[in-house]
C-alpha cells in the first residue's frame, strides 16, 4: 500500500509488482485481458520478458523520481497521470536525454506502467485512473509537434520570422526570460527554466551547473539587458514549470518545440563565427562548448 509519505522508488516498486508477469503465461494473461492492441487483438497487461521488465523498471524509477523532484514527495501520488507521463517523455526529448526512436520505447513502457499504477493499493481507498490510450496518443502529439520518432536527421531550426512572431507572443507571458535564454544562449529547456543552476559572471556570460550528465558549461557573452533580467530573476528564485512553458511555446507557434530554439542558436552562431574568420573546426568547437555538448558529433547533428 502506498500513501503520500511513500518515496519515488517505493511507489515505482509497488506499481511494477502488479504488472510482473515473469512467472506467468503470456497467452493465459492475454486471454484474461480486456486490453486491445492496434490490430484489435487482446494484449497482456503484464510484462513477461526479463529484459522488458528491467527496461520498464528503469523508466518507472525515472518517472517517479521526476514527479518527486517536480512536485515534492507528498505530491507524487496526486500527480501520477497521463499528462505528467507525457510531459516527462517530452522533457527528455527536449533536453536531449533520449532520441525520437527511444521516445517510442518510453511511450510503450508508460502504457504498461499505466496499468500498474491503476492497480496500486492507495491508503484511503482512492484509485489512480489512467487511460493507456491517453499515453500512447503522445506519439501523434509529438509528430504533430514535428518530432521525428525515427532515426535520422531533421532540421528543427526556426526562421527569423517565426522567432519574431514567437517572441512577440511570449512578451505577454511570465516566461519571456526562458525563451530569450534559449534563443540568445542556446540553453537546454531545464537550464533556461531553473535559476538555481546559474552563476552570472562579470564578463556577461552565464555558467550553467549540473546540466545534462552533470556537465557544467558557460554561454557566450550575452547582451547587458538580458544579463540584468537574468540577475534579477535569479535573486527572486526564478523557476518555471516545464508543462506551463511548453504550453505557452506551442500557443506562440513553436511547432518544433523548445528544442528548435537550440537548433536555431547553433546554426546562427556557427554562421556568425565563420563570418568572423574562424575555420569550420574552430567555429564548431566554439558552438559545442557554448551549448554544453560533450561530443562534437552532437553539434554536427544540430548543424546538419
Per residue in 188-237, pLDDT (tens digit) is: 999 999 999 999 999 999 999 999 888 999 999 999 999 999 999 999 99
Orientation of helix 100-118 relative to helix 8-18, angle to 10°: 80
Task: Tell me which residue has cell 507571458.
Answer: 173
Query: At 213, is the secondary structure helix, strand, or coil?
Result: helix
Rounded to whole angstroms, what are the CA distances from 111 to 42, 43, 114, 251? Answer: 15, 12, 5, 27
Q: How far apart are CA 172 and CA 170, in angstroms?
A: 5
- All cell numbers assigned to 240: 518555471
**Residue 153 above 60 pLDDT?**
no
Which residue in 234, 266, 261, 270 sits closest to 167, CA to CA?
261
Give the C-alpha separation, 232 to 140, whole Å. 39
**How far is 251 from 166, CA to CA, in rounded Å?**
9
pLDDT (0 to 100) of residue 303 = 86
pLDDT confidence bin for 36, thresholds 50/70/90: low
Handedness of CA 210, 79, 83, 38 (dihedral sign): positive
Alpha carbons 260 and 136: distance in angstroms, whole number? 23
* CA 198 to each of CA 95, 190, 213, 293: distance values in angstroms, whole numbers, following the listed order: 17, 11, 16, 17
Between 18-32, 191-205, 252-266, 277-291, the lowest mean confidence (pLDDT) is in 18-32
Q: Mind listing the pLDDT tens digit for each residue in 40-81?
A: 556 787 898 888 899 999 999 999 999 999 999 999 999 999
Amino acid at each position: 500500500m502506498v500513501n503520500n509519505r511513500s518515496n519515488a522508488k517505493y511507489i515505482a516498486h509497488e506499481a511494477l509488482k502488479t504488472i510482473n508477469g515473469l512467472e506467468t503465461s503470456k497467452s493465459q494473461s492475454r486471454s484474461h485481458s480486456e486490453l486491445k492492441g492496434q490490430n484489435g487483438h487482446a494484449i497482456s497487461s503484464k510484462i513477461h520478458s526479463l529484459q522488458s521488465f528491467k527496461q520498464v523498471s528503469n523508466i518507472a524509477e525515472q518517472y517517479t523520481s521526476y514527479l518527486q523532484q517536480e512536485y515534492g514527495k507528498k505530491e507524487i501520488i496526486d500527480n501520477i497521470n497521463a499528462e505528467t507521463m507525457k510531459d516527462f517523455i517530452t522533457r527528455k526529448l527536449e533536453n536531449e536525454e533520449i532520441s525520437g526512436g527511444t521516445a517510442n520505447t518510453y511511450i510503450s513502457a508508460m502504457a504498461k506502467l499505466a496499468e500498474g499504477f491503476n492497480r496500486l493499493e492507495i491508503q484511503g481507498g482512492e484509485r489512480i485512473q489512467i487511460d493507456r490510450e491517453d499515453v500512447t496518443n503522445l506519439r501523434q502529439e509529438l509528430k504533430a509537434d514535428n518530432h521525428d520518432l525515427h532515426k535520422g536527421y531533421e532540421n528543427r531550426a526556426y526562421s527569423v520570422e517565426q522567432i519574431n512572431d514567437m517572441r512577440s507572443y511570449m512578451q505577454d507571458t511570465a516566461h519571456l526570460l526562458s525563451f530569450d535564454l534559449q534563443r540568445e544562449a542556446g540553453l537546454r529547456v531545464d537550464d533556461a527554466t531553473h535559476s538555481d543552476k546559474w552563476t552570472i559572471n562579470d564578463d556577461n556570460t552565464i555558467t550553467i551547473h549540473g546540466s545534462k550528465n552533470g556537465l557544467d558549461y558557460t554561454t557566450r557573452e550575452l547582451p547587458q539587458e538580458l544579463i540584468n533580467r537574468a540577475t534579477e530573476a535569479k535573486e527572486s528564485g526564478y523557476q518555471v514549470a516545464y508543462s506551463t512553458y511548453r504550453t505557452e511555446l506551442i500557443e506562440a507557434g513553436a511547432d518544433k518545440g523548445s528544442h528548435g530554439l537550440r537548433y536555431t542558436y547553433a546554426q546562427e552562431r556557427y554562421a556568425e563565427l565563420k563570418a568572423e574568420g574562424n575555420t569550420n573546426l574552430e567555429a564548431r568547437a566554439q558552438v559545442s562548448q557554448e551549448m554544453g555538448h560533450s561530443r562534437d558529433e552532437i553539434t554536427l547533428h544540430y548543424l546538419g
